[in-house]
Homo-oligomer: A and B are copies of this chain.
Amino acid sequence: MAVKLFIDAIRDALVYEMRQDDSVFVLGEDVGLRGGVFRVTQGMIDEFGASRVIDMPLAESAIVGVAIGAAAYGLKPVAEIQFADFIMPAVNQIISEAAKMRYRSNGDWSCPLVIRAPFGGGVHGALYHSQSVEALFYHIPGLKVVVPSTAADAKGLLIAALRDPDPVLYFEHKGLYRLIKDEVPDGEHVVPIGKAAVRREGTDITVITYGLMVHYVLEAAEELAHAGISTHVLDLRSLLPLDRDAIIEAARRTGKVLIVHEDNKTGGVGAEVSAMIAEEALYDLDAPIARLCGPDIPAMPFSPTMEKFYMLNPAKIADAMRTLAAF
Contact = CB atoms under 8 A, between A and B. Distances in A.
A231 interface: no
B138 A298 contact: no
Nearest to A289: B278
A247 B210 CA distance: 28
Contacts of A267: 135, 138-139, 240, 267, 269, 271-272
Interface residues of A, number: 49
Contact of A272 (B141, B271, B280): B271
A49 interface: no
B288 A279 contact: yes
A296 B138 CA distance: 11
A127 interface: yes
Contact of A289 (B95, B96, B275): B275
Contact of A288 (B138, B141, B269, B278): B278
A297 interface: yes
Number of copies: 2
Question: Which of A271, A285, A288 is most buried by chain B, counting CB atoms within 10 A of its CB?
Answer: A271
Q: For A136, A275, A278, A290, which residue has the most chain B Cβ atoms within 10 angstroms?
A: A275
Given A135-B267, A267-B138, A267-B139, A275 B291 contact: yes
Contacts of A136: 91, 95, 136, 139
A171 to B, nearest CB: 15
Interface in A274-290: 274-275, 277-280, 282-283, 285, 287-290
A268 interface: yes
A304 interface: no
Given A100-B127, A103-B297, A266-B138, A285 B288 contact: no
A128 B96 contact: yes
Contact of A291 (B266, B279, B288): B279
Given A138-B267, A267-B135, A103 B279 contact: no
Top 3 A-B pairs ranked by shortest CB distance? A139-B267, A88-B92, A274-B275
Interface of A: 61, 85, 88-89, 91-92, 95-96, 99-100, 103-104, 127-128, 135-136, 138-142, 240, 242, 264, 266-272, 274-275, 277-280, 282-283, 285, 287-291, 296-299
